[in-house]
Amino acid sequence: MSTQSSFAVVTDPEILKKISQYKGIWVYAEVDDNTLTSVSLELLAAARYLSNKTKEDVSAVLLGYGVERFAKELIAHGADRVYLVEHPLLSSYTSDAYSEALAQLVLSKKPSIFLFGANRNARDLASRVAVKVETGLAADCIKLEINERGQLEQIRPDFGGKELSVVLTPRTRPQMTTIRPGSYKALPPDPSRQGVVERFQVELKPEKLKIKVLKSVREKLDPKEDLEKAKVIVAGGMGLKNKENFKLLYELASLFEGGAVAGTRSVCEKGWLPHHLQVGQSGKTVSPTLYFAIGLSGAIQHLVGMQNSEVIVAINIDKEAPIFQVCTYGIVGDLFEVVPMLIEEIKRVKAQKSTQKPAQEALAATGGSE
């Protein structure tokens, strides 16, 4: 995959004057189930990267009711300012209330760039706000850059993930985009960071809102299936041959704290794994510490979803498989021979460490040394 950097030249003085009024990089900080979403913190990392190039402040936008407690966390993760918008009608997410509140804030403060997570509610919200403030929106981006004209390059997969397109918003502001979760890594929190919390009052009239939340029912996700938080992911492809053989991957994943099993699109479409465990262009974007790519070729559509993993270990019988072009370590061999050997070796090392630990603790207790 490759991208071609470009820019659109705008010479109309009226347009240039208008867009020059917009300053600052904003991040929509989403609260879900009384917790800041992980993608909100990832977006702050992306915003700080852009800020290093534009020299503009980074602001987080926090909507809800009784959500002020999250402001410190946002500042610790990179926000210079937190716009706090609280209202009883924002206690639960609804498209019309949230989009109206956010549009009022955007039209008042005029940010140059506004980033949203590419998840269900944020996608809905971003598109509605873009319409209200009459600007463009680039969806499902995986990377952001600033070109030589200071424009935001919004990079997203296209043509089924086979190419990367660069989207520009040259004539309107803000430049709005949704970013796929896992595309950036959240910065480590710095509790010493100083920032400003600025309250913004919005006008919301109940009679003008068409949606009202009567009851919220949340399906609890098994922590072992939360790919976006998994530290280790063991992913399988069609090389596993059938659903039953995925027990090998589950056994391997169980040897790691925070281990999870995932699959390619073909695997999930066959019903070998549920769709929420799909990694790739039409699935999840992940960035674990360790990613096993087992029996999968490494099609572009899959690489889009996992190429930001810190360490990638590929196991495939085909030495020409594209996955070997991006992996950190590659093993050419039959996965049905390699994976069991890998499992036994990991078990042996773990057992060895567990027997050494009591001896070391006993030695330390007596004040001895090796």
Contacts of 160 (CB under 8 A, 6+ apart): 281, 300, 301
Q: Where in the chain is the domain with CATH 3.40.50.1220?
A: 223-359
What is the CATH class of 13-208? alpha beta
- pLDDT score for 226: 87
pLDDT in tens, the chain (370 residues): 445 455 678 888 999 999 999 999 999 999 998 899 999 999 999 999 999 999 999 999 999 999 999 999 999 999 999 999 999 999 999 999 999 999 999 999 999 999 999 988 999 999 999 999 999 999 999 999 999 999 999 998 875 556 788 999 999 999 999 998 888 999 999 999 999 999 999 999 888 888 888 887 766 667 778 898 899 999 999 999 999 999 999 999 999 998 999 999 999 999 999 999 999 888 888 889 999 999 999 998 898 889 889 999 999 999 999 999 999 999 999 999 999 999 999 999 998 887 776 656 655 665 554 4
**pLDDT digits 0-9 by tens, 270-288:** 999 999 999 988 888 888 9
Side chain identity at residue 223, one-letter code: P
pTM value?
A: 0.77
Give dist(CA 108, CA 203) in Å, integer. Answer: 13
The pLDDT value recorded for residue 11 is 84
The pLDDT of residue 2: 47
Q: At what angle do helices 120-133 and 95-109 cross, to 10 degrees?
A: 50
Structure tokens of 199?
A: 């309250």
pLDDT given for residue 207 in this prediction: 86
Tokens 């402001």 correspond to what residue?
71
Kindly report each contact of residues 9-12 with a partner whose C-beta sits within 8 Å and lies 24 or more positions away, as own/partner.
Answer: 9/149, 9/170, 10/170, 10/171, 12/171
Domain boundaries 223-359, CATH class: alpha beta
Residue pLDDT, tens place only, 237-246: 999 999 999 9
Instruction: Match 């995986």 to its residue by tokens.
Output: 142
User: Which stretch of DSSP H or E encloses residue 145?
Assistant: strand 143-146
**What are the start and end residues of each CATH 3.40.50.620 domain in the chain?**
13-208
Question: What is the pLDDT, as a whole number, of residue 91?
Answer: 93
Closest CA to 312 of 324, 296, 301: 324
